[in-house]
Structure 1
Amino acid sequence: MNKPWVEGNSVELLINGEGYYPRVFEAMAQAREEILLETFIIFDDKVGQQLQRVLIEAARRGVRVELAVDGYGTADLPDAFIAAMTEAGVRFHAFDPQPRVAGMRTNLFRRLHRKIVVIDGELAFIGGINYSADHLGDYGPMAKQDYAVEVRGPVVAQLHASSRQLMAPVLEPPSQVRPLTQPAGQISAVLVERDNTRHRSDIEACYLQAVRAARQRIVVANAYFFPGYRLLRELRNAARRGVQVTLILQGQPDMRWVRALSRLLYNYLLRDGVRIHEYCQRPLHGKVALVDDEWSTVGSSNLDPLSLSFNLEANLLIRDRAFNQHLYQHLTSLASDHCKAVTLERMIRGYWWRAPLIFIGFHLTRYFPRIAGWFPAHRQRLKSVQPEVQAQGDLHEGNT
């Protein structure tokens, strides 16, 4: 990580779509000059349609709107949905769009998984929440539990520069907005990224540094937990030296194989005192953590091979006692009221038949970063999309 910690920020935790969407849509509605937006998923549902409306309104009043989506996560967005935005002046860009083969999406790896919004260079949002109705409680039992933060202050310049750099190939003319640098609070923060060029392991390195320095407590709430061997070892070592290590993981998964992989690692952690809670009220989609009473992180990065070795990710690191305590109280309540504690005795049952799988899973964490290098690292590229809505509904890519 080569970005400096920046003081003088305000950072507010936003929980689930109910906390996030009203704030981000209001901010977009008040934008004067520019909206830079990156996301993994937009669905054509009530949330996606509200996003569409607010971006169209912004573009029509002269705001520059640059929208970057992932070519895999947003592959099913209808042409008419995109065309309504581009005709109003929204510039729509897809990251690594690829044709389907036998109806299957082929761009499985190295996705744009970041969720960042920067407005007028003075207000930003970052976290793990996509633009889809499954982040709202009224979606039903499969509504996701997730987090983002609203950020003001000098660190917004780092988010603005990062989004501008990602979109540089399609930003014509380049962004002329100059981020504000005036203090907006007392919080220190820094943006940390993972990409496939100069920042391949920055997010993992920040986790490792924080866990190694822990003296009191570590709480990790992460949707897809299958980290590398080094992080597993440091979590175990922290518990051995008396740090209270708590993991909040999926108990009602949106993908069952994810929980199955995570459980292959439970024995290794539980036998050295790591506490594991499975969140059972709804699918956990969060990517947050805290260490001791000051360090916290909120962002898009899971602790799994896709996020740590392939995807483009972005997390905000935060140093502030009040924010840390607020997050700690929320996660403690989540663990006590809506989670099921996992015990070593429970995991030992049936160990004889799971032992080979545990062995394989454990060694995958050890060698996966090396395995990831076997996969081709395609260029990190955005393609501007200008659909022509025809009777067949074909989507044609252009250079506008």
Structure 2
Amino acid sequence: MTPLPSAPDSIRLLENGEEYFPRVFEAIAQARESVLVETFILFDDEAGTKLHAALLAAARRGVRVAVTVDGFGSHDLPPAFITELVKAGVHFCTFSPCRRLLGVRTHIFRRMHRKLVAIDGEVAFVGGINFSAQHLYGYGPRAKQDYAVEIAGPAARQVHDFLARAIPGACLQGRLAPPPPGCNTAPPGPVRLVTRDNHRHRNDIEFAYLDAIRAARREVVIANAYFLPGYRLLHALCEAAGRGIQVRLLLQGKPDMPWVARAGGLLYCHLQDSGVQILEYVERPFHGKVAVVDEQWATVGSSNLDPLSLSLNLEANLVIRDTAFAQRLRGRLQALIAERCREVPPRRHERSLLDAAGATLMFHFLRRFPAWVGWLPAHTPRLVTPQAGDPRGRRRVFVLEREAE
């Protein structure tokens, strides 16, 4: 494995599973002290079994290994998959697991949607890519287009310390640096981990986007899988386009959840009337959550711009102020736009009354959704760790009153 340069913060863009998985597995193979992983989805497939083998090998040579998966996203993991990890000494947690009700997964709100990996406090990975073969091109027409970042230096330590506190029992707390006032407070530098939870950091990722859009001078490029932004973001994008900023949205043209695309499409006319250009990626499902502003500011992470990510889920993004990285990400997105996207033409004279009514309702829904979140089904977040040999039997339960501050 070619290590990243030893600069204060070294940053590498990774596109899709073909670039992401080999880097993660090689980093785990070189781990000396700790491997910490959080992922929304872990499947027992080509990608998941390779991660499983890498974690087993690390644990068996004495590395502290801790893994958290989401109880909704990773609902079908076989007991044997978990048992082998636990027997090898892996600290395995499930975030708010729940039983199916009439075959249907419940707890659809407040998911642990982060995708984070930290190795020895020296190397870390942040992005939107799950440990699933769906992120490999060979999966077929439903393979997902997505991005992640590999970092080394102080920024990697941010991710390590965050995960060490997010997974009770994962690390010796005495080995951690004293926690900052909030998990989104970091030493000055070009890379900052910004998280969203349901306690002290409800709007931090949204505010990072808002600050960048409002400060834009030339260009805003947002590429997002599920685009149904809150009222503040919608207004900021339209205002930026209105003052002459080139605002481009790269969204799904072949969505894996069509109803989400239909809901977001109700906002197209409003955005286009303000001068926003809308492009749809049409080769396969787009799963990315990235943005670039003025080739100076960028973000890569797990947070979509939709009500679930902005108001309910636990999320994590990197905010990166590095011109070389921003230019590299913009170049990748520009190539996607040029080769695999189509522009959505404005429909100024083709709007039906039904579309107009739907857009109006959607606009007011987005404006008031944050205040309505408290009415949605809630539960006290738990991390459940199985005992060796019985992953679905006796368990240790950690009640998370405050999610990973």
Question: What's the counterpart of residue 199 of structure 1?
Answer: 201
Alignment length (residue pairs): 382
Question: What's the counterpart of residue 82 of structure 1?
Answer: 82
Question: What's the counterpart of residue 163 of structure 1?
Answer: 163
TM-score w.r.t. length of structure 2: 0.91
Distance 2:189 2:150 in 1: 13
Q: Any conservation in 2 of the 1:44–1:81 contact (CA below 8 Å)?
A: yes
How far off is 1:250 after superposition? 0.3
TM-score w.r.t. length of structure 1: 0.92
How far off is 1:178 after superposition? 6.7
Structure 1 vs Structure 2: percent identity of aligned residues? 53
Q: Pick closer, same or farther for the CA change 1:70–1:175 going to 2, 3 Å.
A: farther
Distance 1:387 1:213 in 2: 52
The answer as to 2:352 corresponding to 1:360 is: no
The answer as to 2:46 corresponding to 1:46 is: yes
Query: What SS class does the counterpart of residue 9 from structure 2 fall into?
Result: strand
Distance 1:175 1:224 in 2: 40
Q: Pick closer, same or farther for the CA change 1:35–1:348 going to 2, 3 Å.
A: farther
How far off is 1:293 after superposition? 2.0
Q: Which runs of 4+ in 1 moved over 4 A?
A: none
**Amino acid corresponding to residue 29 of structure 2 in structure 1:** A
Q: Pick closer, same or farther for the CA change 1:177–1:161 going to 2, 3 Å.
A: closer
Q: After superposition, where does 1:95-244 map in structure 2 within 5 Å?
A: 95-168=95-168, 170-171=169-170, 173-174=172-173, 176=175, 188-244=190-246
Question: What's the counterpart of residue 375 of structure 1?
Answer: 376
Question: What's the counterpart of residue 403 of structure 2?
Answer: none
Question: What's the counterpart of residue 4 of structure 1?
Answer: none
Question: What's the counterpart of residue 341 of structure 1?
Answer: 343
Question: What's the counterpart of residue 183 of structure 1?
Answer: none
Q: Any conservation in 1 of the 2:127–2:147 contact (CA below 8 Å)?
A: yes
How far off is 1:368 after superposition? 0.7
1:361-392 Cα deviation digits (max 9, x unpaired): 11111111011122254333311123646xxx
**Amino acid corresponding to residue 249 of structure 2 in structure 1:** L
Query: What SS class does the counterpart of residue 209 from structure 2 fall into?
Result: helix
Q: Pick closer, same or farther for the CA change 1:259–1:86 going to 2, 3 Å.
A: same
Q: After superposition, where does 1:281-292 map in structure 2 within 5 Å?
A: 281-292=283-294
Query: What SS class does the counterpart of residue 66 from structure 2 fall into?
Result: strand
Query: What SS class does the counterpart of residue 396 from structure 2 fall into?
Result: coil
How far off is 1:116 after superposition? 0.5
**Amino acid corresponding to residue 93 of structure 1 in structure 2:** C
How far off is 1:360 after superposition? 1.4
How far off is 1:350 after superposition? 4.5
Distance 1:84 1:101 in 2: 28
Q: Any conservation in 2 of the 1:92–1:386 contact (CA below 8 Å)?
A: no
Q: After superposition, where does 1:310-349 map in structure 2 within 5 Å?
A: 310-345=312-347, 348-349=349-350
How far off is 1:139 after superposition? 0.4
Q: Any conservation in 2 of the 1:10–1:187 contact (CA below 8 Å)?
A: no
1:27-61 Cα deviation digits (max 9, x unpaired): 00110110010000011111100010000000000
Q: Any conservation in 1 of the 2:38–2:114 contact (CA below 8 Å)?
A: yes
* Aligned Cα root-mean-square deviation (Å): 1.9
Query: What SS class does the counterpart of residue 247 from structure 1 fall into?
Result: strand
How far off is 1:219 after superposition? 0.2
Distance 1:273 1:322 in 2: 28
Q: Pick closer, same or farther for the CA change 1:99–1:387 going to 2, 3 Å.
A: farther
Q: Pick closer, same or farther for the CA change 1:258–1:52 going to 2, 3 Å.
A: same
How far off is 1:333 after superposition? 1.2
1:190-211 Cα deviation digits (max 9, x unpaired): 1111001100000001111110
Q: Could you tell which deviates more after superposition, 350-359 or 80-89?
A: 350-359
Query: What SS class does the counterpart of residue 99 from structure 1 fall into?
Result: coil
Distance 2:208 2:94 in 1: 29
How far off is 1:90 after superposition? 1.2
Q: Pick closer, same or farther for the CA change 1:98–1:256 going to 2, 3 Å.
A: same
Q: Any conservation in 2 of the 1:38–1:115 contact (CA below 8 Å)?
A: yes
Q: Any conservation in 2 of the 1:79–1:388 contact (CA below 8 Å)?
A: no
1:39-89 Cα deviation digits (max 9, x unpaired): 000111111000100000000000010000001000111111111111111
Distance 1:9 1:62 in 2: 28
Stretches of structure 2 lacking an aligned partner (at least 5 in a row): 1-6, 179-187, 398-405
Q: Any conservation in 1 of the 2:164–2:171 contact (CA below 8 Å)?
A: no
Distance 1:388 1:201 in 2: 40
Q: Could you tell which deviates more after superposition, 274-283 or 186-195?
A: 186-195
The answer as to 2:395 corresponding to 1:395 is: no
